[in-house]
Amino acid sequence: MTRISTGMRNPRNLSADAKGSIHDDATAHDLGFRGGTVAGDIHLEQFGGIAVEAFGDQWFENGFVSMYFQQVTTDNEPVDAWIDGSGNLRNAGILTPEGAVVAEGNVGIGFDQPSALYSRDRRPVDPSSLRMMKDVRVGQKTDIQLRYPNSAGQMKRLQTQSMTAPLDWYSGASPWGGPICTPLTACQLLVAGTTDSIAAACGPFVGMYGAIEVRHVNGPLFLDVEYVISGEVLDVSDTPKTEVLWFR
Give residue 19's pLDDT band: very low, low, confident or very high (50, 70, 90). Answer: confident
Alpha-carbon gap, residue 131 to 46, rounded angstroms: 36
Alpha-carbon gap, residue 248 to 119, rounded angstroms: 14
The better pLDDT of the pair 184, 206 is held by: 184
What residues does each domain of the chain span? 4-113+141-231
Alpha-carbon gap, residue 248 to 240, rounded angstroms: 24
Alpha-carbon gap, residue 37 to 73, rounded angstroms: 6
* Residue 21 pLDDT greater than 80, yes or no: no
Alpha-carbon gap, residue 2 to 120, rounded angstroms: 26
Mean pLDDT of 57-68: 98
Give residue 157's pLDDT band: very low, low, confident or very high (50, 70, 90). Answer: very high
* Residue 143 pLDDT greater than 80, yes or no: yes
Q: pTM for the complete prediction?
A: 0.91
CATH code at 4-113+141-231? 3.10.129.10
pLDDT digits (tens, 9 = 90+) for 83-115: 999 999 999 999 999 999 999 999 999 998 889
Give residue 29's pLDDT band: very low, low, confident or very high (50, 70, 90). Answer: confident
pLDDT at 1: 59
Name the DSSP class of 237: E
Q: What residues contact residue 199 under an 8 Å CB cut-off, 6+ apart?
A: 205, 207
Alpha-carbon gap, residue 173 to 177, rounded angstroms: 6
End-to-end Cα spacing for the chain: 31
